[in-house]
Every structure is written in C-alpha cells, then in structure tokens.
Structure 1
Amino acid sequence: MSGASGAVVRRVATAALLIAAGNIASRLIGVVREAVIAGLFGRGADVAAFTAASAVPTIVYDLLVNGAISAALVPVFSAYAEEDETAFWRVAATVINLALGSIALTVGFLIWQTPTVVMLLAGGFEPELRELTIVMTRLLLPSVFFMGLSGLITALLYARQRFLLPAFTTSIFNLGIILGAVLLQAWLGPLSLVVGVLLGSVLQVALQLPGLRDATHVPFLTFDLAHPGVRRILALYAPVALGIGFSIAGIVIDRNLASRLTPDAIPTMRYATALIQFPLGLVAAAVSFAVLPTLSRQASAGDEAAFRVTLAMGIKVVLLLILPATAALAALGAPVVALLYQRGAFGGEDTQATARALLLYLPGLPAAALDQMILFAFYARQRTLTPNLVQGAAILIYAATALPLLMWTPLGVAALILANSAQWIGHALILYLLSQRLVDLGGLRIGETFWKCLIACIALFCVAWWLGNALAFAGPLAVLLGAGGLGTLTYAGVCLALRVEALDFLITTLRQRGFFPTA
C-alpha cells in the first residue's frame, strides 16, 4: 500500500470511528433523556402534548435541511472543497442563505397557523391538551433555526473532513433536553422540556463553531442560484424531499390517530419506540463502520463483483446483530423497561404497558435494520428516487393496516403499533425486491446466515427467558446482567459452533480498527 493510499484508508477509518462513537453516544444519551422524561412526567398527557409539539420543528428541519445533508450537501460541498476553495464558499454561502431564508419563512407561517397544524397532528386531543400543544409548538418552532444552522455546519465540516465535532451534535442536543427537564421541571412543568429543546439546539451550533475557525473570508451575502453547484444540490435533493414528504404524511396520520385514543397512547409509543431505536441505531452504526465506506468506493469504481460480496456481507452482519437484539428484547422487555424507566412518575403499570408495546414493535425491528442496509446500496449507486417512492407505498401499508384494526377491533394503541411494524416490514420487502434489479445477491449464502442466526436466537431467547424468570426476585438489573449476559454468551457460542461467516468478518474488521488485539 502506498503512502498516499494508506493515508486515505486511515482517514476513512478515523472518520468512521468518530461517527460510530458519536452515534453510540447519542443513542445512549437518548435513552437517558427518555428515562428522565419518564421519571418526571410518566405516561401523562403532558408527554403526549410535548411529543406532538416537538414533531413540528423536527418535520421542518428534516424537510429543509437534514434530508439534504448526506444526499446532496456533503457530496457537492466535498467536490468543491477539494478543488476550488472560492467556489466552495460561494456555493456554501448561497445554500446557507437559501436554507435559513426558507426556515424563517416556514417558521413564521407555522407560528401564525399553529392551531391548524396542531389540529392536523393532534386533532383528537381534548381542548385543554390541544391548547398546551399549541403553546409548546409555538415556543419550539424557533429551535428550527438553530437546528438548521447546525445541520448546515455539519455538512461543511464533513466536506472539509472534520468529523469530531459533528459526531456529537445529537448527544449535546439530548443533554440540553435533560438539563432543561431536570433543572426547570419544578418551576415550569412540561414547558421545561421545551426550554431543553431550545437549549439543545443552541448548544449544537456552539459545539461546531470552532470547526469553522478558518472560515475568515466567507461571502455571506452571496445568493447565486444559477451556480452549477447550487443547481446540483437542488437536483440531488428533489427525490429525497419527495420521500420526506411521504414520511411527513405518515407522521401526521400516526399522530392524529394516536391523539384520538387515551392520553397515554402517545407516551407509550414514544417510550417503546426509543427502545427500538437504540439497537437499530447501534446496528446501523456498526454496519456503516464496517461496510459502507468500502461499498461506496466499489460502486464508484464499477467493481460489480466486489460490490455484490460487500453488500451481501453487510446484510449478513445486520442479521448477526439485529436478530439477537430482537430476541433479547422479546425475552427481557419488561426488565429493560423497568430498569430504564420505572421511577418517579413512571410506575409498575406503566412498565407493563410499555413492555407490551415494545413486544408489538419487535417484528418490524429486523426489517427496519435490513432496510437501512439495502438503502446503502441504492445511495452508493446514486439511485435516490426509487427508495423514496417506496416510502410512499409503505405509508399506504400503514394506513391499510391501522384503519381497519382501529375500526373493527378493540386493540387501541396496539393497532397503531402493529401498523408501524407492518409498514417497516412492507418497506423492507418492497425495497429488497426492487434491489434485485440493482444487484444480484444470489448464491451469496444470505439465507444460510439467516437460519443459523435464527437457531442461535432461539437458544438465546430460551436461556434469557428462563433465567430472567428465575432471577425476577432479584430485580431488573440482576435479571439483565444474569439472563442477558448468559443469553449473549449462548448466542455467540452457537454462532461460533455453526461457523457464522458474518461473525468472523465483524471480528476481523473490529480487530483491524484496533478494537481487539491481533494475534
């Protein structure tokens, strides 16, 4: 390996390590955030109002900035950063002005029309709860400006290959919410969560500003929409915006239906979803860390054979990691919920309700994880339209599942959770079928990996469930340490005995990155 190529590999490895570390930290702190909210507010109506209200700034941020970061901003910014510094800042300044101007107009309009927005999102709330949601939404909307600015700075820093500060923006955002809730709940009640979001959004910007220390000659007043770089960003982002539009429709439908159930429905879904997102985020980080950089280089080089092998291995690694996480949560869901949430305003009944919701979300967890890996394949080939059209089909699957279950069964919130699982499974199946036109994965032993991991998961579930019941008297921490630990060892042992190929690959990759000592 030449010195230049070795430097590139080391840079990619360092970037992947920092991004993975930031992702893991953000997931961990995110769980702490939910535990704090649960302890202070339980599954009460205040959490329902905050969850509905906080969806509005998130939707605006995702639509105007977040969706463009990886699909459009970073690729185009990176090209100019390597070739022409002056053009880089000209494009960057134009995009920043365009994005912040769009945010200002959108936020102003939504503050004016907040009652209508809340009616769309939470039309089933009682009048008093709806008024609280309106107040929260109006107070939260200014945070979009700082969230958007933070996202734009992230794109600039990634393009200039500065990964440390952006990697921890979500972590510091979650810390802001935790601080606001813990320090101000006694005086502001649920509005302390709003203050926390505002604080977190400001901290995101403050954290990253030192990364732009050399940006001393930025043409801030530039607004060159005719520049080829700006036009390229808009062209790349258009399909992504379509997919985000479908996602927004799904969020609106889901929140509106949930608001028509009991007030604890939305909080229950929130806490259970946080537990689903934790392993999902960790698996996505692990797979990106191990596979995605290589996959992108192979797609650019047109190496079809290597692309097939790498993508198949990525899918196998996802199966290796997400299936045991699903089995463990199925066996130990109640102790997990009790350990993380059961304190303060969150009691035993809340634990049981959240654990039941978690169990219903679990069928969709493996599908959601596999879905991300297949998306990597489309994005590595710069095919952004197809996966975003599939998102529209997935929303139809959700509606076709949720509405009949709500109308013709007494399932209540369980109907919405099952519909979410059906949506994730449907999206993954459709995308996988369409990916067959993108790359042929036949003969690469993906099915073999699935069945071997499934056998190991059955062993994990049996051991964890039996030992979890036996240790229930000792409390949730002892259950998770004992049953979870032995279940994990059982899974690893069975995988080794069955010679699961993905396990060898993952261990080798982590060893190459310095996580394990080499022999």
Structure 2
Amino acid sequence: LLPLTVRMIRLILPAIWFFGMAGVLTGILYALQRFTFPALSSAVYNLGIIVAAPLLAGRFGVTSLVVGILLGSLAQFAMMAWDLRHWLRTVGHAMRFQFDWHHPALRKIVVLYIPIAGIELVSSFQVGLDRRLASGSGERSIAWMQNATTLQQLPLGLISVAIALAALPRLSQHFANRNEAAYRATLGRGLRTVLLLIAPAAVGLYLLGEPITRLIFEHGLFLPTDTAQVVSALHIYLVGMLFAAIDFPLNYAFYARNNTLGPALVGVLSVGVYVVVAFALLDSLGYHGLIWADSAKQASHALVMLLLLTWRVGRLNARTLTSGLAILAAAVGMAASLYVVRLFLQPQLPPNLLGDLLNLAISGSVGVLVYAFLLQQLGVRELQDVVRMVVARLR
C-alpha cells in the first residue's frame, strides 16, 4: 500500500494549489456580491469525483478517486477564475497581482487564520486516525467510506455550504452595523432554507441510496456486495449530514463576527468526541463504528455551536422552530410516499441501468411533489422564497 499511497499523494499535490486559489477567488467574488459560481463550486468539485470514479475505475482502480479530486479542484478554480475575469472585463479592469506586505488588513487576516490553521491540523490528525483505523477493519473499508462520503458531500456542498457563504456578507454587514436583530433574522432564514433543502436530499439518499450507488459506482471491479456496504455506510453518514448541514451556517455566523477561535475550540472538542466514540465502537461494529463516531463529531459540533451562538446573540425567533417542525413533518410524508412507490415500482422494473434510471426518476419525482405539497399545506414560507429565487435565476 505504501508505494500506491506515495503515488497518489504526488498526483494530488496540484489540487492543493487549486484549492487555495479557489478559496481566494471565493472571497473576492463574495466581496463583489457575485454568489452563483462560488455557491456551485463545492458541487462542481464533488461532481468531478463522481464522474471520474466510475469512468476511470477500470483503468486506474482506486487512483481514479484521486484523479477525480484533481479534476474537481481544477474545475472549481477555473469556473471562478472565469467569473472574476468576466466581471473585470465588464467594468473595464484587468486582473493584476500585487504584493503589499504592509497592508493593514494582512495582520488581521493572519490573526484570524491562526485558529483555523490549528483546527485544520487537529482535523488532519482525525482524518489520519480514521483512515488508519478503517484500514484495520477490512480491505475495502476505506473505499466504501469514501464512496459514501462523496454521495453525502454533494448535497452538503450544493445546499449548506452555498447558503452559508451567500449569507456571510449580510451577516458581516449586520454585525458591523451592530444590528443584532437583523443578524438573527438573516441567520434564522439561512438555517430554515438549509433545512428545507437538505431534508429531501437526506430522505432521497436514504431510500434511493441503492439505485444511486449502483448507477454511479457499480462498474468494473465494483460489485453488488460493494454497493450494499456503501449504502449501509451512507445510511449512518446521513445522521451526521443533517447536523453538518446546519453547522456550516453556524460556523460562518461566527466568522462574520470576526471570531474564528470559537469554532476552532469547538472543533477540538468534537474531534475528542470522535476519538472516544470510535474506540468504543470499533471492536463491535467495525468500520460502521467509525462512521457513527464521525456522525457523533458532527452532532456535537453543531449542537455546541448553536448553544454558544444562542448565548452570544440571543435566541432565534420562534419561526425557525415552527418551520423546522413543519419541514420534519413534510420529510416524513415524503419518506412514506417514496417507500410506497418503491415497494410497488421496483418489482416491475428490469434490474439494469434503465431500471435504476426509471426508479430514480419516478420515485424521486413523486417524493419531491409530495414534499412540496405538504410544505405548502403546512404554510412553510421558505418554499415560496426558494421558488422565487430559482425562477429569478432562470430568467
């Protein structure tokens, strides 16, 4: 495994530069109030992995995942570089790099970055420990966990990260103006929108995870037994995904207040939770115990962040709670409809690619329609907000 690991590290190194430059471009574009391409960047990155893995798996094996990371990071960077260049041309400017080591903002950036760098080191330790423990729990455990992680990261990037980043400029503005009421309202609206969109994604991945996994990954050496393992891992990861979805806006809410130390300290605590749960469950549950540990980490981080933010800025309005309960009820209704449709539909469909596509198209459409109908009946106003936003983007 060591030569393969070294080769994969060498191949992935350029992605580090692409990631770094994409982060810089994200900050610039958000400062210019250009949200579309940065909001899509995480989804484009994950899409690179999802596309490259099945297409290249037969030729490169597990290295296809690394190629996917490289292609995804490149696409992410190229997309935002194009958007910035387009804006500069529109206003009659050209892109120019200039180094000013004495700029007053530089020291502030360094101070704010120190806690983030610290938690990145701690997170790297946790990821390394996770991989080491997983490698001892089965030959293909790491691959199963990575595939399941890729599936749940796509909605996280497309929904939670995108909404959190879009809310960041307004949160920063409200904090600078000392308008805590507007700050709470913006954060509450962001959390409600995240819950509105992540709930059907979680339901869909849980009930349709098998055909989705089969469609994307079951090619070449990836067998039906691998699909079963990825789906079982995905079901556990989805617990943590729900907490991670609300955790992103909470993190950025702290960043908007120029507070990077709080999230970093909570991150250290959550890694401690992971270590305790991982060693407690590894012997009895194998690599599933590591996934439960990861979900426990996500849950502890999100809950502590929510408590700290409530203590710092006050409670969010009651609408956040009522909308959250309504969204939960609609998601349960969607799950019931998906289960019934799948129960009657699956025996009628051929066990091949066409069958999986029809299953996803029909079941997914019914589920989304039922979810939207229930949201409307329950009076969840965020549904109209999302519809208006989508219509405005399409015009």
Q: TM-score, normalised by structure 2?
A: 0.83
Partner letter of residue 506 of structure 1?
A: V
Aligned with residue 237 of structure 2, among 348, 361, 364: 361
Aligned with residue 16 of structure 2, among 135, 139, 144: 144
Answer yes or no: is the 8 Å Cα contact 2:274–2:294 preserved in 1.
Answer: yes
Alignment partner, residue 251 of structure 1: 127
Task: Say whether 1:472 aligns with 2:346.
Answer: yes
Task: Say whether 1:460 aligns with 2:340.
Answer: no
Please identify, of 310-319 and 281-290, the stretch whose mean Cα deviation from structure 2 is larger.
Answer: 281-290
In the superposition, relative to structure 1, how do residues 358 and 504 fare at CA in structure 2: closer, same or farther (>3 Å)? same
Unpaired runs of 5+ residues, structure 1, are 1-128
Answer yes or no: is the 8 Å Cα contact 1:225–1:231 preserved in 2.
Answer: no
**For this pair of structures, how many residues does the alignment match?**
381
Structure 2 matches for 1:233-272, cutoff 5 A? 233-272=109-148
In the superposition, relative to structure 1, how do residues 358 and 448 fare at CA in structure 2: closer, same or farther (>3 Å)? same
Answer yes or no: is the 8 Å Cα contact 1:312–1:441 preserved in 2.
Answer: no
- Shift, 1:196, TM fit: 6.4
Aligned with residue 500 of structure 1, among 377, 380, 393: 380
Whole-angstrom distance in 2 between the partners of 1:415 and 1:204: 33
User: The residue matched to 2:221 in structure 1 has which SS?
Assistant: coil
User: The residue matched to 2:313 in structure 1 has which SS?
Assistant: coil
Task: Say whether 1:130 aligns with 2:2.
Answer: yes
Alignment partner, residue 8 of structure 1: none
- Shift, 1:254, TM fit: 1.0
Q: Deviations over 1:120-157 (max 9, x none)?
A: xxxxxxxxx22321233244335534554555566566
Aligned with residue 229 of structure 1, among 102, 105, 110: 105
Task: Say whether 1:482 aligns with 2:356.
Answer: no
In the superposition, relative to structure 1, how do residues 166 and 369 fare at CA in structure 2: closer, same or farther (>3 Å)? closer
Whole-angstrom distance in 1 between the partners of 2:26 and 2:126: 27
Q: Deviations over 1:448-507 (max 9, x none)?
A: 222222221111111101211211131222222222211221111111111123323333
Task: Say whether 1:332 aligns with 2:228.
Answer: no
Aligned-pair Cα RMSD in Å: 3.4
Alignment partner, residue 352 of structure 2: none
Structure 2 matches for 1:156-195, cutoff 5 A? 171=44, 182=55, 186=59
Answer yes or no: is the 8 Å Cα contact 2:46–2:154 preserved in 1.
Answer: no
- Shift, 1:163, TM fit: 7.3
In the superposition, relative to structure 1, how do residues 243 and 449 fare at CA in structure 2: closer, same or farther (>3 Å)? same
Whole-angstrom distance in 2 between the partners of 1:243 and 1:402: 19
Q: TM-score, normalised by structure 1?
A: 0.64
Structure 2 matches for 1:301-380, cutoff 5 A? 301-380=177-256
- Shift, 1:250, TM fit: 1.6
Task: Say whether 1:441 aligns with 2:321.
Answer: no
Answer yes or no: is the 8 Å Cα contact 2:39–2:163 preserved in 1.
Answer: no
Unpaired runs of 5+ residues, structure 2, are 350-354
In the superposition, relative to structure 1, how do residues 400 and 179 fare at CA in structure 2: closer, same or farther (>3 Å)? closer
Whole-angstrom distance in 2 between the partners of 1:216 and 1:451: 48
- Shift, 1:307, TM fit: 1.9
Whole-angstrom distance in 2 between the partners of 1:367 and 1:180: 27
Answer yes or no: is the 8 Å Cα contact 1:394–1:423 preserved in 2.
Answer: yes
Whole-angstrom distance in 1 between the partners of 2:96 and 2:384: 50
Structure 2 matches for 1:209-228, cutoff 5 A? 211=85, 218=97, 225-228=101-104
Answer yes or no: is the 8 Å Cα contact 2:167–2:190 preserved in 1.
Answer: yes
Whole-angstrom distance in 2 between the partners of 1:503 and 1:402: 38
- Shift, 1:333, TM fit: 1.9
- Shift, 1:342, TM fit: 2.2
Partner letter of residue 115 of structure 2?
A: P
Alignment partner, residue 299 of structure 2: 425
Whole-angstrom distance in 1 between the partners of 2:211 and 2:275: 32
In the superposition, relative to structure 1, how do residues 317 and 183 fare at CA in structure 2: closer, same or farther (>3 Å)? closer
Q: Which has the larger radius of gyration?
A: 1
Answer yes or no: is the 8 Å Cα contact 1:290–1:506 preserved in 2.
Answer: no
Whole-angstrom distance in 1 between the partners of 2:2 and 2:101: 41
Please identify, of 424-433 and 238-247, the stretch whose mean Cα deviation from structure 2 is larger.
Answer: 238-247
Please identify, of 165-174 and 441-450, the stretch whose mean Cα deviation from structure 2 is larger.
Answer: 165-174
Answer yes or no: is the 8 Å Cα contact 2:54–2:216 preserved in 1.
Answer: no
Q: Deviations over 1:79-114 (max 9, x none)?
A: xxxxxxxxxxxxxxxxxxxxxxxxxxxxxxxxxxxx
Q: Deviations over 1:215-236 (max 9, x none)?
A: 68755xx6x6454333222112
Whole-angstrom distance in 1 between the partners of 2:250 and 2:78: 35
In the superposition, relative to structure 1, how do residues 145 and 177 fare at CA in structure 2: closer, same or farther (>3 Å)? farther
Partner letter of residue 132 of structure 1?
A: L
Task: Say whether 1:275 aligns with 2:151.
Answer: yes
Aligned-residue identity in percent:
37
Q: Deviations over 1:329-361 (max 9, x none)?
A: 222221222222223322221111111111111
- Shift, 1:165, TM fit: 7.5
Q: Deviations over 1:151-191 (max 9, x none)?
A: 556656666777788777764896599679857964x6655
Structure 2 matches for 1:16-35, cutoff 5 A? none
